[in-house]
Amino acid sequence: GAVVSQHPSWVICKSGTSVKIECRSLDFQATTMFWYRQFPKQSLMLMATSNEGSKATYEQGVEKDKFLINHASLTLSTLTVTSAHPEDSSFYICSARVEQGNQPQHFGDGTRLSIL
């Protein structure tokens, strides 16, 4: 149980376009999901906390107008990278947690984003 699905796994697009990444909790409901960015050989950097039915909470230094987060249902959160530029190229990972006790975060498989 507790599977998180992330789509797409890899996307290549031109500079200036917008890219949407989906994160779904397949067998549980998640009022909170998390979006991370990871550079090669580095740790996960929390970008924002996605809250179902309300605005996302962004970490300091993360542009909310650049990285739009929508959490419209208890099983789906989306991250849209708007007007993407080469410096936005990175590995993006989402996670969600069964909100009970010591449950760990369950991660999607990540999205490799390459902006040409």
**Binding stretches for other proteins (CB under 8 A):** 32, 34, 38, 41-44, 46, 49, 91, 93, 95, 97, 99, 102, 104-107, 109-110
Q: Closest distance between other proteins and the C-beta of residue 80, in Å?
A: 21
Q: Give 18 or 26: the residue with its C-beta nearer to other proteins.
A: 26
CB 63, min distance to other proteins, A: 20
Shorter beta-carbon distance to other proteins: residue 12 or 17: 12
List the structure tokens of 104. 């760990």
As measured in angstroms, the least distance from the Cβ of 95 to other proteins is: 7
Strands 111-115 and 44-51, by their bridges, are unpaired
**Using CA atoms, how far apart are residues 54 and 57, in angstroms rounded to an integer?**
9
Q: Are 37 and 92 in contact (CB under 8 A)?
A: yes
Question: For residue 92, how many C-alpha atoms fall within 13 Å in the half-sphere facing its CB?
Answer: 27
